[in-house]
Structure 1
Amino acid sequence: MKIYVLAKKSVVKVISVFILLSVSILYTSTMSNNTLDVFSNKKELPIYYVDTPEKKIAISFDAAWGTEYTEDILNTLDKYKVKTTFFLVDFWVKKHPDVLKKIDKKGHEIGNHSTNHPEMSKLSKEEIIKEIKTTEESIEKVIGKKTTLFRPPFGDYNDNLINTCRELGYHVIQWDVDSLDWKEKGAQSVVDTVTRNVKNGSIVLFHNNAKYVSEYLPLVIEKLQAEGYKIVPISELIYKDNYDVDVDGKQIKKQTKK
């Protein structure tokens, strides 16, 4: 009798294990795509930097408040024969159209930085479109050129933003080197931060109204040029089509089949 009971318990145990395994396999095979996406690398990413063998980089300026140092910036860029990209917010454009005209006339690239400087990931698709198109139209009215690069305020984005920008014909641009000029720790701090972290294909973030920009900008450019870097506008650095962006935000040119 005792042997029979033990045998019965063993059978029950085997059956229980079999049932658990079956349920597990069934659950795994029928998991929704949304659940599986949590463990995938399907998240959309903006361009942080570019994979290139050339010693070529881009520096950029976000302009949302003030123009106090913009003349100094433009004079420095002229002095070192550098062209760059300025990302502008709509209310800045409306307040300083003459400055926008001057930036454009000097051959610098104009990017879109939204209308009201919001956290873009919190907006609906319709709100994102309005933020981008309003600024696009304001810039086009002043200089007659359509923007094609978008930098989200605060570097805040999600899949909805990336996909919407793609539909609108925009490349979403981040940065891999933050100058941290907004911390106002002095010119040398910015010079060190940028020159120690820059590499081929880097995109550097500056702000047009940073307190020490008139001091640090010539020092940064001199050092980068001495190290052999060519500084170009972002649109001359990135690939416009036939590319991937890896999990680190590096834009990689797809290899064409021969």
Structure 2
Amino acid sequence: MLRRVKREDNIIYRLLIVLFILIISISYTSIKTNNGIIEVFSNKRELPIYSVETEEKKVAISFDAAWGDNYTLGILDILDRYNIKSTFFLVGFWVDKYPEHVKEIYKRGHDVGNHSTNHPYMTKLSDEEIVKELNITAEKIEKLINERPTLFRPPFGDYNDRVINLCRENGYYVIQWDVDSLDWKELGVQPVVDRVTRNVQKGSIILFHNNAKYVLDYLPIVIERLQAEGYEIVPISKLIYKDNFYIDNTGRQKINE
């Protein structure tokens, strides 16, 4: 009788462990609905767009511009050579220093995105300061190209729910990346090429920097490798969905069906 009771207790104990694991798993599982994502047993975390779910073999390459301008015109010439349009995220003080290059980026058909005014950690700012970071640079860009940016990339990739919601309230699609070239580490050409081509997939958003040391060397190689693999390179504005979408718990933007 005692052995039977112990055996039943052991079964109950195991069932409780399984139930506990199941609850923990569910708490981090996203359930798709017509209105977006519901996080079961946990609060929904707001995410930027890291990549896009698409059946088409499309990717976007992007450049953050904050410090320096040695290679911007060279980048534009390379993109022209391959008939590719890209996305440039510009910081306010960079816009102030290189207004003619802002115009040139836009003139050549590329997206001009907002990358803040002073390149701060956005999560450390008040609501008012976040909106100010958005608006000042947006006004500077609009004054130069007569178009207000609708794409925003947080400096350092730093965000939280508050930052994401404030950006959306101010008319922005918040953009991250799923392929980081790490070009700012200046490791050379081949490490950048290998890292990008190894990690890219349909709908990827690739991060480069306009003043990375080897950008004029690795960019043509990356483009040719991607094209050889059948990828079409488009600006982020042509890759993302503008409405009727949701973002899953990995940051992948998907169309509601």
The alpha-carbon deviation at position 47 of structure 1 amounts to 0.3
For the pair 1:105 / 2:101, whether they are aligned, the reply is: no
Match of 1:144 in 2: 146
For the pair 1:48 / 2:50, whether they are aligned, the reply is: yes
The amino acid of 1:234's aligned partner reads I
The amino acid of 1:101's aligned partner reads K
| 2:64 pairs with one of 42, 62, 65 | 62
The secondary structure found in structure 1 opposite 2:137 is helix
Match of 2:82 in 1: 80
Match of 2:159 in 1: 157
Question: Over aligned residues, Cα RMSD in angstroms?
Answer: 1.1
Q: 1:54 to 1:38 in 2, by over 3 A?
A: closer
The secondary structure found in structure 2 opposite 1:141 is helix
CA distance in 2, matches of 1:71, 1:218: 14
The alpha-carbon deviation at position 48 of structure 1 amounts to 0.2
Match of 2:191 in 1: 189
Match of 1:209 in 2: 211
The amino acid of 1:118's aligned partner reads P
CA distance in 2, matches of 1:248, 1:224: 24
1:155-184 alpha-carbon deviations (Å, 9 max, x no partner): 000101111111111000000000010110
Identity %: 68
Match of 1:93 in 2: 95
Kindly indicate whether the alpha-carbon contact (under 8 Å) linking 1:46 and 1:174 is maintained by their aligned counterparts in 2: yes
Kindly indicate whether the alpha-carbon contact (under 8 Å) linking 1:64 and 1:92 is maintained by their aligned counterparts in 2: yes
CA distance in 1, matches of 2:49, 2:236: 10
The alpha-carbon deviation at position 143 of structure 1 amounts to 0.9
| 1:126 pairs with one of 112, 125, 128 | 128
Kindly indicate whether the alpha-carbon contact (under 8 Å) linking 1:41 and 1:247 is maintained by their aligned counterparts in 2: no
The amino acid of 1:134's aligned partner reads I
The alpha-carbon deviation at position 205 of structure 1 amounts to 0.2
CA distance in 2, matches of 1:203, 1:121: 23
The alpha-carbon deviation at position 41 of structure 1 amounts to 5.0
Kindly indicate whether the alpha-carbon contact (under 8 Å) linking 1:191 and 1:219 is maintained by their aligned counterparts in 2: yes
For the pair 1:248 / 2:245, whether they are aligned, the reply is: no
The amino acid of 1:201's aligned partner reads G
Could you list the runs of 4 or more consecutive aligned residues of structure 1 that deviate by over 4 angstroms after TM superposition? none
The amino acid of 1:75's aligned partner reads D
Match of 2:23 in 1: none
For the pair 1:225 / 2:227, whether they are aligned, the reply is: yes
Kindly indicate whether the alpha-carbon contact (under 8 Å) linking 1:64 and 1:88 is maintained by their aligned counterparts in 2: yes
Structure 1 portions without partners, runs of 5+? 1-36
TM score, norm. by length of structure 1: 0.83
Structure 2 portions without partners, runs of 5+? 1-38
Q: 1:173 to 1:59 in 2, by over 3 A?
A: same
Q: 1:39 to 1:211 in 2, by over 3 A?
A: farther
The secondary structure found in structure 2 opposite 1:82 is coil
The alpha-carbon deviation at position 71 of structure 1 amounts to 1.4
CA distance in 2, matches of 1:246, 1:96: 37
| 1:175 pairs with one of 174, 177, 181 | 177
Kindly indicate whether the alpha-carbon contact (under 8 Å) linking 1:62 and 1:205 is maintained by their aligned counterparts in 2: yes
The alpha-carbon deviation at position 97 of structure 1 amounts to 0.2
The amino acid of 1:238's aligned partner reads I
The amino acid of 1:133's aligned partner reads N
For the pair 1:117 / 2:103, whether they are aligned, the reply is: no
Counting matched residue pairs gives 219
Which has the higher Rg, Structure 1 or Structure 2? 1
Match of 2:16 in 1: none
The alpha-carbon deviation at position 40 of structure 1 amounts to 1.4
CA distance in 2, matches of 1:40, 1:67: 44
CA distance in 1, matches of 2:128, 2:207: 28
Matches within 5 A, 1:6-25: none
The alpha-carbon deviation at position 72 of structure 1 amounts to 1.1
1:116-171 alpha-carbon deviations (Å, 9 max, x no partner): 00001111111110000000000011111100000000000010111111111100
